[in-house]
Structure 1
Amino acid sequence: MRTSLLLGSATAALLTFPLACAKTSPSPGPAVGAGGAVVPPAGRQVAVATAAQLQAALGAARPGDVITLADGTYTGQFSIARGLSGTAGNSIVLQGSRQALLQTGNRKSGNAALFLLGNEHWEFRGFTVANSKKGVMVDFSSHNVFAELSILDIGEEGIHFRRFSSYNVLRNSTIQGTGLEQPGYGEGCYIGSAKSNWATYTEGEPDKCDFNQVLDNVFGNNVKAENIDIKEGTTGGIIRGNAFNGQGLDGANYADSWLDVKGNNNLISANTGTNGGPVLLDGYQTHVAVAGWGEGNVFRDNQCAVQAAGYGFNIQTKNGSALGNQVHASNRVTGAAAGVANVPVTP
């Protein structure tokens, strides 16, 4: 659990390159369907092989485009123009193999290798993000999908949903080697902002990064802070089917569990936690960082090989109440010296 983070500017300068740098298949004109209705043309296939071509393609993308990365290393802070979005029926896709690597080339300074700012209905598939201060930063952006990515060798957090970013999905990805320069800021996946940062990022309002889903990912080794940290101000997330790993936890900023929940009404289910490591205390924790938060979270069907001195589930209580948090009997806990949970288990 960290209570404060000091980040650089939330915006990255948008590099401008001629669109001709990217190889773009021409899009046909509108087709006419039954009854004379105009059928929107299919998106363009855009092949890129250099950093300049990639930034040009990101800056000129339109709904339905599929931007494909050739294998190779792309060095820069790759940003999407503010507000440039796909649609619910026509996402914009950026895809590549694990051998297509986005990086800033600097784990100590700068910002994220991939930066969203007010973008919706994008899909990011298959490629690697590495060797950067932050991996992926998502600000003011919703309804995006991050799938089959590899995020590793990162100075601070791997992927951060921040500034009212909601309804995003992170799935089937691998996150390891985060916090290599700042262990206390080295979460694998960070959702929301601490109250101490609301004045900076949200004009003092709770950072409502709501209804994000983290599904079927593999975390660790060497995620230095929590595998996932869900901050106060967030609501309704789903954390399901992930493999958590405590080997490499550093302990800075109280990071001593696989997952720390300070938001409300999150469902944490069907996850597997292993490799406690020397720093792990509890498998899962909730905290009341701000009054009215850290409530109503549900834990069920999780497999927890804790191998540590604490609990499988350590629920912060207030005046003897678990604040609506539920630890179900369907969870399986081994190796937790203090027991399954510090609160009564829900049948």
Structure 2
Amino acid sequence: MSARTRRRAASWTALGAVTAVLISGCSSNDEPKPDGDARPSTTAGSGDPLAVPTGPLATGPAAPASGAASQGCPQATVQVSTAEQLDQALAKATPGTSIQLADGTYEGTFTATAKGTAQTPITLCGTASAVLDGGGVKKGYALHLDGADYWHVTGFTVRNAQKGVMGDGTNHSVISGLTVTNIGDEAIHLRKFSSDNVVEKNTIANTGLRRAKYGEGVYIGSAVSNWTEITAGAPDNSDRNVVRDNRISATTAESVDVKEGTTGGTVTGNTFDGSALAEDADSWVDVKGNSWTISDNTGTNSPVDGFQTHVVAKGWGRGNTFTGNLAQVNGSGFGFHFAPVEDNRLSCDNKVVGAAEGLANVDCA
């Protein structure tokens, strides 16, 4: 390209009257390393709260009210209120550090390299009114987890960067409850052998402002054409990552793009709106890895298909399972399109509305 009963019931309610007509039954955007933006000296204060968005931000989802409690934020060991303080806190972080962002705007691009542990992860947290602002959509990663294992990144806003949150070689980390918006390319990207991570309960919108074909919501792995640069030619085994309960809209490329080289991940409980899909993007979810489970997602509005698989590298794009998804496609293709079919599997509890070609190009089982 369950809890299930409860989630599905809510999704059916959202589909409303259209349920009466139920049908039963590839871009590559890894690019060279960031350009090393110089950071202006900026103090975070009361400026630029998301309660008063401007420009493209205004078309995105509503942000939580200023001062709302951030998710998963333990007792702070370090409190920061300026970009310089945040840089210092990230550089000095050790297992068990909890960095709390004061509300305000932190201009620049930020990198975390420290490693936590399973028992003592490192936390970076704040409310939605704490904003990491990369300064523009042309270059830079607003937040770069670079070899940073066992991090919990939660609650705040990320905007105005070429890429929102980038994970390179990050493992056992959690990216949750963020608002990621106004992004040049993809919003959240895990690559370079980033495994066993969770991306959950984030609100993602307004991507692809630099190049529409690179505007994915969540991107796992890297394209085979980039393995030479990213992984010294080896398959990018970014494995067993979980993408769940996110709300993804206004992306110009796929809501979730799962690349060849990745194995054993899960995409579940997410909500997709593909109204802004552009150029070659023709589905919400495109799976090119192996043995992924795609379950209990709800999608609306795609120009062609709802969910797809592709084989772009030999031995990949196989053994994926699609179950319990609700697809209101309103497009010219299928709800589910496997190209080629390989041994990808479609269960009969998937439901499709408004797909011109019907449920799928395969029989459900």
TM-score (norm 1): 0.86
Distance in 2, matches of 1:345 and 1:10, equals: 44
**Alignment counterpart, residue 175 of structure 1, candidates 200, 204, 218:** 204
Match of 2:125, as an amino acid?
A: Q
Does 1:69 find its partner at 2:101?
yes
Partner of 2:296: 270
Does 1:4 find its partner at 2:28?
yes
Match of 1:274, as an amino acid?
A: T
Partner of 1:310: 333
Distance in 1, matches of 2:251 and 2:343, equals: 29
Task: Say whether the 8 Å CA contact 2:30–2:223 is kept in structure 1.
Answer: no
Partner of 1:331: 350
SS of the residue 1:335 aligns to:
strand
Task: Say whether the 8 Å CA contact 1:143–1:168 is kept in structure 2.
Answer: yes
Task: Say whether the 8 Å CA contact 2:38–2:108 is kept in structure 1.
Answer: no
SS of the residue 1:94 aligns to:
strand
Partner of 1:341: 360
Partner of 2:90: 58
Task: Say whether the 8 Å CA contact 1:12–1:115 is kept in structure 2.
Answer: no
Task: Say whether the 8 Å CA contact 1:14–1:80 is kept in structure 2.
Answer: no
Partner of 1:226: 254
Distance in 1, matches of 2:222 and 2:176, equals: 23
SS of the residue 1:257 aligns to:
coil
Does 1:281 find its partner at 2:304?
yes
Q: CA deviation at 1:63?
A: 1.2
Does 1:257 find its partner at 2:286?
no
Q: CA deviation at 1:180?
A: 1.1
Task: Say whether the 8 Å CA contact 2:34–2:141 is kept in structure 1.
Answer: no
Structure 1 runs of 4+ with >4 Å offset: 10-15
Does 1:165 find its partner at 2:194?
yes
Please show how residues 84-233 of structure 1 align to structure 2 within 5 Å. Answer: 84-109=114-139, 111-220=140-249, 222-233=250-261
Partner of 1:20: none
Q: CA deviation at 1:4?
A: 3.3
Distance in 2, matches of 1:94 and 1:284, equals: 33
Structure exhibiting the larger radius of gyration computed from Cα positions: 1
Match of 1:264, as an amino acid?
A: N
Q: CA deviation at 1:327?
A: 0.8
Match of 1:95, as an amino acid?
A: C
What fraction of aligned residue pairs are identical, expressed as a percent? 47
Distance in 2, matches of 1:14 and 1:136, equals: 18
Match of 1:246, as an amino acid?
A: G
What per-residue deviation string (whole Å, max 9, x for no partner) do you get for residues 220-276 of structure 1? Answer: 0x200000100000001100000011111112xx21100100000000000000133
Partner of 2:268: 240
Distance in 1, matches of 2:29 and 2:284, equals: 19
Match of 1:216, as an amino acid?
A: D
The Cα RMSD (Å) is: 1.8
Q: Which runs of 5+ in 1 are unaligned?
A: 18-41
| TM-aligned CA distance change 1:330 to 1:45, over 3 Å | same
SS of the residue 2:119 aligns to:
coil
